[in-house]
């Protein structure tokens, strides 16, 4: 009896006209995106997505990079940066325990990535660059260092300390 009821539920949910129509529309959109060499990108404001030609998106990013004088570097510096950060953390043994150092460095660092959000509300639809640093070598260590309270000698002078100098 329960198996019969489950079969009825399955058939009614997947065989409804609206479900078939939605699946058909999604398949058409997917086909048009792949055949038209388009892509789905996020907009700058709101929870909006945009379907744009891949070449237009690439040109906007390239234009942004050239106008702001970005240049390529000959080799990937992430391993070198990781080594510098590791050496620095090891020298700060008065702030960071030796056991914490392995948790504050990335095992396999990756360079930060650029994501471009399209500004639909501006003429020409420029981009807003967003840098994702999660895999970068310097992602975890600054969080720990920023939570550390500096010694009393390096703390800023309080208002009441300025007037009570006797």
For the entire predicted model, the pTM comes to 0.62
The rounded distance, in Å, linking the Cα atoms of 3 and 6 is: 5
pLDDT digits (tens, 9 = 90+) for 34-66: 888 888 888 888 888 888 899 999 999 999 999
Q: What DSSP element (H or E) covers 17?
A: helix 17-35
For the four alpha carbons of 153, 154, 158 and 164, in that order, the dihedral sign comes to positive
pLDDT digits (tens, 9 = 90+) for 68-78: 998 888 888 88
Residue 101's Cβ-side half-sphere holds a number of Cα atoms within 13 Å equal to: 18
| Percentage, residues of the chain above pLDDT 90 | 12
- What is the rounded end-to-end Cα distance, in angstroms, of the chain? 91
pLDDT digits (tens, 9 = 90+) for 13-33: 555 677 778 778 888 888 888
What pLDDT score does 7 carry? 61
The rounded distance, in Å, linking the Cα atoms of 18 and 24 is: 10
Are 138 and 131 in contact by the 8 Å Cβ rule? The answer is: no
């Amino acid at each position: 009896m329960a198996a019969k009821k489950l079969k009825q539920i399955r058939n009614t949910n997947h065989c409804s006209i609206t479900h078939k129509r939605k699946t058909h529309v999604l398949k058409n959109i997917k086909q048009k995106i792949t055949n038209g060499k388009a892509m789905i990108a996020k907009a700058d404001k709101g929870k909006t997505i945009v379907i744009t030609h891949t070449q237009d998106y690439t040109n906007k990013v390239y234009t942004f990079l050239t106008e702001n004088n970005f240049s390529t570097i000959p080799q990937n510096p992430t391993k070198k940066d990781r080594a510098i950060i590791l050496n620095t953390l090891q020298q700060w043994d008065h702030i960071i325990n030796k056991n914490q150092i392995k948790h504050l460095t990335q095992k396999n660092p990756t360079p930060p990535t650029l994501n471009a959000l399209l500004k639909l509300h501006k003429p020409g639809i420029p981009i807003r660059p967003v840098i994702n640093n999660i895999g970068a070598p310097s992602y975890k260590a600054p969080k720990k260092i920023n939570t550390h309270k500096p010694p009393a000698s390096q703390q800023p002078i309080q208002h009441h300390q300025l007037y009570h100098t006797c």
